Structure 1
Amino acid sequence: MTSQQFGDELLRHWQLLWPLPASERIKRIDEIRQDLEFEEQLSLVSTEMANPEFA
């Protein structure tokens, strides 16, 4: 995921969370950011593990 895609995804979530109070919105967007970063790391690990060099 590029930085632009990451930012776009966070913006999309932010817009969906807009009706919530600011403190709740910030808390949830931080959780979503952490989830997206974790998913990206899992994807990178999966790619490396599929590398025949490590088989």
Structure 2
Amino acid sequence: MLTERFWNPDYLPESDVVPSLSIFADESIDGDERQTLIAQDMWRDDEDLQKFH
């Protein structure tokens, strides 16, 4: 499952917080220009995503 593969183990298992990578992936593939811009901003500014640069 995608969530299990990319879930950051530093988050508490009971956490309601969605990992940045999951949000980024969702925003990137939607095809909506506004969501693509949000994904670009996240890639540039999000601390969790900085680990993938």
TM interval, short-chain normalised: 0.3 to 0.5
Q: State which structure, 1 or 2, has the greater radius of gyration over its C-alpha atoms.
A: 1
TM-score normalized by the length of structure 2 = 0.34
More helix by share: 1
Larger RCO, structures 1/2 (Cα 8 Å, 6+ apart) = 1
